Amino acid sequence: MTDRYVVIGHPVAHSQSPRIHAMFAAQTGQDIAYDKLLAPVDGFKDAVRQFVSGGGRGANVTLPFKLEAYELADTLSERARYARAANTLSFAGGQIAADNTDGVGLVQDIETNLEFRLKARDVLLMGAGGAARGVLLPLLQAGPATLVIANRTVEKAVQLVESIQHGATGRVRVSACGFDQLPGQQFDVVVNATSSSLSDALPPLPDDLFAPGALAYDMMYGKGLTSFLAFAEARNVERLADGLGMLVEQAAESFRIWRGVRPETRPVMRALRKG
């Protein structure tokens, strides 16, 4: 029988996941069906249980259900425990296993697709919400020299830094600050994990934020430059990237978890860029 998978969200109509996983399946010869599942805002757990009872094998989870997916799981990967959220669920033997592939998707896109090594770099992570928490552990494991978390509400950034488990930072110097404390600091990599691009807004950033040869990375994606990437381009940053590569790479990691094979991502990214 064809194995069934879904992406669960609210809303979910915009999701590219079915198209991505269909390309992965065709590429790897896997017999799967992948659909969208719109769950009521207050009905995520029931939607999951109904899907599992119908023979579902796994699910990707998008907003606003990643925390509920984490709470629903019987077993958690280290990445899910660290993020306190899950975007990948696997169903087998009456158990729900949860993982979070967002961070590995980000790091894979930066280091492999963009060929920009994070080791020994100075990294700024903008935002202290779920998106930032979801990528924090893989970013630390990539071994930057420093990681600064900046947020409008400084207390949230401080809390995120304080939540980092002992030993997870390795030799990385991690700190928190508000955006008003960024003047005078420069970074090799600036990752926008805020929701500002959704409203075409921008956190208050200094003009000298980017070190020479820096990478500006926005976890959001869409047609044209986000407000953050336009800000970086106007300050002569040549290396710009949106979150489409992260989207495909986190999906590839989910596919690997489910099917035991990691698909090639570049052809899929090219297809999505074409529309």
pLDDT at 167 over 70: no
pLDDT at 246 over 90: yes
CA distances from 267 to 34, 51, 261 (A): 19, 30, 16
Asked if 214 and 239 count as a contact pair (C-beta separation under 8 A), the reply is yes
Task: Summarize the confidence of residues 183-208 as an average pLDDT.
Answer: 91
Query: Torsion-angle region of residue 113: left (phi > 0), alpha (psi -120 to 50) or beta?
Result: alpha
* Structural domains present in the chain: 3-100+247-274 (3.40.50.10860), 103-242 (3.40.50.720)
Reported confidence tier of residue 166, pLDDT bands at 50, 70, 90:
low
pLDDT of res. 222 = 82
Mean of per-residue pLDDT scores for the chain? 95
pLDDT of 32-41, one tens digit each? 999 999 999 9
- What is the set of active-site residues? 66
Query: Torsion-angle region of residue 29: left (phi > 0), alpha (psi -120 to 50) or beta?
Result: left
Amino acid residing at 143: G
* Tokens matching residue 266: 């570049």
